[in-house]
């Protein structure tokens, strides 16, 4: 006779499977991989983009979550007015964005902005956390939190350039045209100056020739006059 498994054992096995799956999912660093974790004094800071993956041209934000691991992972609230957030792209100048608390998620704050370029972004958080000074710099990249992805690879069925890219391309073309025009004007000015110098040279040369021919008859007539007088 075959051994039959009772429905009770099946239910218990199913429950155990669900619990183990949930535990594995909880321990697997999925979303955590897209954020950087850092300790500051007694506080834990978790920083990254508010929405992952971060897509060029899509609304997003610099997100920070502040907790106290030694106090049962207590969420630190009230930091929207004590923290200042700046965002920089690559090595460009940083810009400050207003911090807000996230509804329903104590200890989490976001500075909303729209990343218009794909690549590396730098978040800087300064101010105080419950009186503790903070001035921490976080840069996106491998092993930290994800860079902003270009939108072209996700567009379908055809890639449409973003408006800012089109403006940037037009501005670049305009700058190049202006530079070419400036070079042409400079060359034209130099050519006109050269022509002016040449004309002056011709005038000076002609004047010299006129003076030379004017002197020769006078010099040739002088000996004859002297012979006549003698």
Decide if 119 contacts 87 (C-beta within 8 A).
Answer: no
Give the residue numbers spanning the domain of 84: 32-160
> What pLDDT does 135 receive?
98
| Distance from C-alpha of 120 to C-alpha of 216, rounded to nearest angstrom | 83
Helix H or strand E encompassing 108: strand 108-113
- pLDDT, one tens digit for every residue, the chain (230 residues): 555 656 566 555 555 444 444 443 444 344 445 899 999 999 999 999 999 999 999 999 999 999 999 999 999 999 999 999 999 998 899 999 999 999 999 999 999 999 999 999 999 999 999 999 999 999 999 999 999 999 988 888 888 887 665 555 555 655 666 666 667 676 676 767 667 667 667 767 777 777 766 666 655 555 555 555 55
Q: Is residue 215 part of a domain?
A: no
Helix H or strand E encompassing 16: helix 7-27
> Residue 151 carries which DSSP code?
S
Q: Which residues pair with 18 in a beta bridge?
A: none
Q: Is residue 110 part of a domain?
A: yes
Q: Is residue 9 part of a domain?
A: no
Q: Is residue 200 part of a domain?
A: no
| Distance from C-alpha of 54 to C-alpha of 115, rounded to nearest angstrom | 8
Q: If DSSP codes are grouped into helix, strand and coil, which group holds residue 71? A: helix
Q: Is residue 17 part of a domain?
A: no
Q: In CATH, what number is assigned to the domain containing residue 141?
A: 2.60.40.1930
The number of distinct structural domains making up the chain is 1
User: For 18, what's the count of Cα atoms within 13 Å in the CB-facing half-sphere?
Assistant: 6
Q: Is residue 89 part of a domain?
A: yes
| Distance from C-alpha of 56 to C-alpha of 164, rounded to nearest angstrom | 11
Residue whose structure tokens are 């007539």: 221
Q: Is residue 144 part of a domain?
A: yes
Q: Is residue 193 part of a domain?
A: no
């Amino acid at each position: 006779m075959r051994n039959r498994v009772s429905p009770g054992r099946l239910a218990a096995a199913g429950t155990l499977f669900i619990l183990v799956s949930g535990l594995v999912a909880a321990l697997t660093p999925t979303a955590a991989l897209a954020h950087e974790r850092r300790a500051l004094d007694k506080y834990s800071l978790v920083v990254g983009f508010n929405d992952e993956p971060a897509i060029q041209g899509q609304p997003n934000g610099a997100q920070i979550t502040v907790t106290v691991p030694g106090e049962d992972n207590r969420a630190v609230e009230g930091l929207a007015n004590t923290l200042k957030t700046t965002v920089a792209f690559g090595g460009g100048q940083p810009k400050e964005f207003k911090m807000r608390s996230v509804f329903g998620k104590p200890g989490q704050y976001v500075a909303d902005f729209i990343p218009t370029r794909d690549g590396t972004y730098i978040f800087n958080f300064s101010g105080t956390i419950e009186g503790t000074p903070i001035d921490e710099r976080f840069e996106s990249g491998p092993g930290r939190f994800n860079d902003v992805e270009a939108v072209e690879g996700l567009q379908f069925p055809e890639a449409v350039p973003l408006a800012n890219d089109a403006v940037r391309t037009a501005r670049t073309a305009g700058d190049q045209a202006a530079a070419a025009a400036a070079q042409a004007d400079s060359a034209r000015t130099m050519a006109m100056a050269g022509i002016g110098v040449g004309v002056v040279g011709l005038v000076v040369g002609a004047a010299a020739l006129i003076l030379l021919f004017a002197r020769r008859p006078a010099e040739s007539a002088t000996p004859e006059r002297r012979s006549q007088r003698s």
